[in-house]
């Protein structure tokens, strides 16, 4: 049996609305994942540090403030610079489809906006982490 998927769920920036982050954390736990809850008002630097120390498979960020074009790439860059570029950076919030496409080009995984279901998110993380783990093993 594969080891449980470890996910860091956190909120970068100044936005404090954590309904989504908490609901996602509970859902991931109920789906058998180990969720490290990183909390609110975190800087991208703190998030990268947490992800690295916890050696997570995925980082889930929730941003509802509109600052996502700044915050998501920052986390991706910090992780890549530290040698943790294999970690999936995903998340959601108030992000337009256009911005999601832009962010994908910058190394962010699939993002989940308003109306996305927990089921979709869980399945995506399982599949994508599984894919990345398999790729790592085959090297």
Partner 1 sequence: MTVAAGADLLGRVRAGEALACARLMSLAERGDSRFVAEYARFHQELGRARRYGITGPPGAGKSTLVEGLALHWRALQRSVGVVAVDPTSPFSGGALLGDRVRMSRLALDPGVFIRSMATRGVFGGLARASDDVVDVLDIYGSDTILIETVGVGQSEVDIARSADLTVVVLHPGGGDTIQAMKAGLMEVADIYLVNKADMPGLDRLVEQLTDILDLRDMPMAERPPILTAVASTGEGVPALADELDRMHAARQASGALARRRADNLEKRVRRLVEGRLRHDIWEALGLAETLSQRIAQIGPHSAWSLADEILDSYRRRRPPETHA
Partner 2 sequence: MSRTETSRDSAHDQWQGAFDKAGVRDASFETVSSAPVAPLLTAADVAATDPVADIGLPGQFPYTRGPYPSMYRTKLWTMRQFAGFGNAHDTNERYKFLLGKGQDGLSVAFDLPTLMGYDSDHPRCEGEVGRCGVAIASLKDMEALFDGIKLSDVTTSMTINSSAAIVWAMYLVTAQKQGCRLDQLGGTTQNDILKEYIAQKEYIFPPQPSMRLVVDTMEFGAKHVPRWHPISVSGYHIREAGSTAVQELAFTLADGFAYVEAAIERGLLVDDFAPRLSFFFNSHVDFFEEIAKFRAARRIYARRMRDRYGAKNPRSMQLRFHTQTAGCSLTAQQPLNNIVRTTWEALAGVLGGTQSLHTNSMDETLALPTETAVKVALRTQQLIGYESGVANTIDPLAGSYFVEDATNRMEQGALDIFARIDELGGVIPALEKGWFQREIGKAAYKFQREMEAGRQIIVGVNKFVDTEDEQPMDLLRISMETEHQQVRELAELRRTRSAGKAEAALERIRADARSSVNLMPAFMQAADAYATLGEMVDVLRAEFGTYREPAVF
Interface with partner 1 (CB under 8 A): 3-4, 25-26, 28-39, 42-43, 45-46, 49-50, 52-55, 82-84, 86, 136-137, 139
Residues 6+ away with beta carbon under 8 Å from 109: 58, 88, 89, 90, 124, 128
Asked if residue 71 binds partner 2 (CB under 8 A), the reply is yes
Q: Would you tell me how many other CB atoms lie within 10 Å of the CB of residue 9? A: 26
Stretch that binds partner 2, among 47-55, 90-98, 104-112, 128-136 (CB under 8 A): 90-98
In whole angstroms, how close is the CB of 60 to partner 1 at the nearest point?
13
Which whole-number Å values give the CA distances from 64 to 3, 12, 15, 83, 123, in the listed order?
Answer: 32, 10, 7, 28, 23
Residues 6+ away with beta carbon under 8 Å from 51: 8, 59, 79, 84, 87
Question: Exactly one of 53, 96, 101, 104 binds partner 2 (CB under 8 A); which one?
Answer: 96
Q: What is the DSSP letter of 67?
A: -
In whole angstroms, how close is the CB of 71 to partner 2 at the nearest point?
6
Q: Residue 137 touches which of partner 2, partner 1, none (CB < 5 to 8 A by kind)?
A: partner 1
In whole angstroms, how close is the CB of 24 to partner 1 at the nearest point?
11
The encoded tokens of residue 43 equal 């800087």
- Sites of contact with partner 2 (CB under 8 A): 13-19, 22-23, 25-27, 37, 39-41, 43, 65-67, 69-71, 94, 96-98, 113-115, 117-119
């Amino acid at each position: 049996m594969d080891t449980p998927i470890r996910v860091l769920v956190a909120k970068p920036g100044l936005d404090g609305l954590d309904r989504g982050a908490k609901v996602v954390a509970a859902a991931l736990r109920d789906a058998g994942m180990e969720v490290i809850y990183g909390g609110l008002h975190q800087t991208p630097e703190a998030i990268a540090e947490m992800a690295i120390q916890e050696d997570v498979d995925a980082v889930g960020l929730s941003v509802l403030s509109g600052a996502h074009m700044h915050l998501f790439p920052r986390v991706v860059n910090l992780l890549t610079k530290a040698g943790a570029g294999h970690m999936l950076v995903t998340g959601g919030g108030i992000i337009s489809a256009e911005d999601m496409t832009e962010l994908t080009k910058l190394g962010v995984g699939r993002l989940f906006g308003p109306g996305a279901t927990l089921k979709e998110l869980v399945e995506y993380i399982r599949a994508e982490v599984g894919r990345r783990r398999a790729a790592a093993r085959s090297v």
